[in-house]
Amino acid sequence: MKNKFFTSLAIGGVFGLFACQAKEVETIADTCNASLVVLGTAQDAGKPQIGNTSDPAWRSSSLIRTASSIALVNREAASYSLFDATPDVKYQMHMLEISNEVEGLHLGEIFLTHGHMGHYLGLAQFGREALNTGNGGAKSVPVYAMPKMHNFLENNGPWDLLVKLNNIDIKPLADQNTVKISDKISITPFTVPHRGEYTETVGYRLLGGGKSAVYIPDIDSWEQWDEAGTKLETVIANNNYLFLDGTFYSGDELPGRDMSKIPHPTIIHTMEMLKALDPMSRAKIRFIHLNHTNPAHDKNTNAYEDIEKSGYKVARAGERICLD
């Protein structure tokens, strides 16, 4: 009886997650060659988060949010670049592969931002216990990583096994060095300040031909980035779309935890800092990587309304943007 209950609960949860994610995927004109697809919008631990039993997302699959991730689809090659391998990667890849109008769409390569749980643990899905890429004729997955991340994966279990068994093939990345995916599509990593116990952290600039998007799921502060030589306002001016760290809406979301130990610019702070921006520039910005405590996950909150009224957006899983 007990087993049956847990089995049905598990299956219900899995299909609930799959159903709620998959139905949201947008399609766009088949003339678009390079399209960015949002695969997940939550902070590393997803929503609901372990231990937070009062979250209504445990009871309503439409409130589930998977960890922050995006993909860039290259229609000509029927392949896509995946940005981060999250703990939810199997749902995210499935959502993309079944929803895309490109026949035979397959994973081309993975670009990692950094070594925190929401951004690389999904690599385990490519190992011997799961997909086992690189064996039996299947191609190993190219995984682009910065030097410390590269070193971390090669020298720590279980990740070293993925390298030894040829499941993944680590490709070196360097700050500001562009990787060309095709004639038109290119990816450029850039370092950002973020607590780095094991690895550096990068954001990415995705160029799809005519348009560009910037992906920065984690950053400690815009001011620190500015001190290191990069002004957010300049990055906004030079790009068409920006997916920015929106982990916390306000500074009082985690009672009982020292928020200085988990620094992120709050959405309120970012909007205040950018208050001189014109409406067109504001409309380029989508907040992503929302913590489970962030009220902006829910459209029916003052926080969400405030963000929209101020001319910004909250990223949504399934959203698709053409970067041609």
Residues that bind Zn ion (CB under 5 A): 44, 116, 118, 218
Q: Which is nearer to Zn ion, 22 or 262 (CB)?
A: 262
CB nearer to Zn ion: pick between 116 and 320: 116
Min dist. Cβ of residue 208 to Zn ion (A): 24
Cα(322)–Cα(324) distance, integer angstroms: 6
Cβ closest to Zn ion, residue 165 vs residue 259: 259
Which of these, 191, 220, 211, lies nearest to 289 by C-alpha position? 220
The Cα 160–Cα 165 span in angstroms is 9
Q: Which is nearer to Zn ion, 120 or 241 (CB)?
A: 120
User: CA-CA distance, 53 to 47, in Å (whole number)?
Assistant: 11
**What is the chain's length?**
324
Tell me the closest approach of the beta carbon of residue 197 to Zn ion, in angstroms.
10
Query: Which is closer to Zn ion, CB of 133 or CB of 287?
Result: 287
Peptide bond into 172 cis (omega under 30): no
Rounded least distance, CB 57 to Zn ion, Å: 18
- Nearest approach, Cβ of 262 to Zn ion (angstroms)? 9
CB of residue 116 to Zn ion, shortest distance in Å: 3
Cβ-based nearer residue to Zn ion, 108 or 193: 193
Torsion angles phi and psi, residue 180, rounded to 5: -90, 125
Strand positions, DSSP E, the chain: 34-40, 69-74, 79-83, 106-111, 141-145, 168-172, 179-180, 186-191, 202-207, 212-216, 241-245, 285-288, 313-314, 320-322
DSSP per-residue letters across 20-89: HHHTT-----TT-SEEEEEEE-B-TT-BSPTT-TT-GGGT-GGG-BPBPEEEEEETTTTEEEEE---TTH
Residue whose Cβ sits closest to Zn ion: 116
Query: What is the closest distance, in whole angstroms, from the C-beta atom of residue 242 to Zn ion in the complex?
Result: 17
By beta-carbon proximity to Zn ion, the closer residue of 88 and 218 is 218
Calpha distance 306→94 (Å, rounded): 33
Instruction: State the DSSP code for 138.
Output: P
Smallest distance from the beta carbon of 14 to Zn ion, in angstroms?
Answer: 23
